[in-house]
Structure 1
């Protein structure tokens, strides 16, 4: 599996942290989330897969938590890994990012998750705004 970002630090132990993330196009624009607080970056909506949860179930849950939107027809595009420190969990993680393309269907609420806000961007804006190179690589494949 391809790695994006920083390599594994020698001597540092990492915990596997699988997650599911979505590329969400609608009317020539993309639905992104901005996470304020610790991260202060634009991201593809998504997040960690809970124990016993399928990636698609996690995708639906996480997209709703971060955007307030319901999605439909998720299609798996591929996966990549990142080695990062997650300060909100005080955790060195090997993030295994499962990337999907899905359709944003309907906004049901404001993002329930604290410090997240919804933003619509053109594919070009998203390419320069997204915070990690793995997200940008998959976005480039789609567009």
Structure 2
């Protein structure tokens, strides 16, 4: 069974399946995260939706680059979770199926190309406290617990 984090689905709302790939990116004792500034500041694991016909790993590389400006290497899947949310940028109620990877940030290619995103380096402890959703926080805490 895939664990759910956050609110259960609300009755009467049709949720659209929205698979995504997200990365925990450790380097030199810190984690690379993204801050989505609009509609309000929200710390997130870099990543996002897997487009129709796209495989998860190319989506992961694309999304991390778009949201942080970094290239990554050696992604390794560590888990999956789901959550039911409203996505205002798409005007969509979604059942997000979040595939979580650990990968190595290799090189900064430039600033984030996705509008209203800022790349930040945080301590793993600060990331485990500050990430905006419980599933992201859980997987970062698991990484800390295993270290």
Question: Is the TM value for this pair above 0.5?
Answer: yes
Q: Displacement, 1:128?
A: 1.3
- 1:27-46 matches, cutoff 5 A: 27-46=28-47
Number of residue equivalences: 143
Q: Which runs of 4+ in 1 moved over 2 A?
A: none
Unaligned runs of 5+ in 2: none
Q: CA deviation at 1:71?
A: 0.0
> Structure 1-normalised TM-score?
0.99
Deviation of residue 39 (structure 1)? 4.0
The 1-side partners of 2:59 and 2:77 are apart by: 13
Superposition RMSD in Å: 0.6
Residue 130 of structure 1 and its aligned partner are, at CA, apart by 0.2
Counterpart position of 1:92: 93
Aligned to 1:131: 132
- 3-state SS of the aligned residue for 2:95? strand
- Residue by residue over 1:71-126, the C-alpha shift from the partner in whole angstroms, topping out at 9 and shown as x without a partner, is 00000001000000001100000000000000000000100000000100001110
Unaligned runs of 5+ in 1: none
What's the counterpart of residue 67 of structure 1? 68
**Residues in 1 aligned to 2:40 and 2:62: alpha-carbon distance in whole angstroms:** 21
TM-score (norm 2): 0.96
1:27 Cα deviation after fit? 0.3
The 2-side partners of 1:37 and 1:24 are apart by: 22
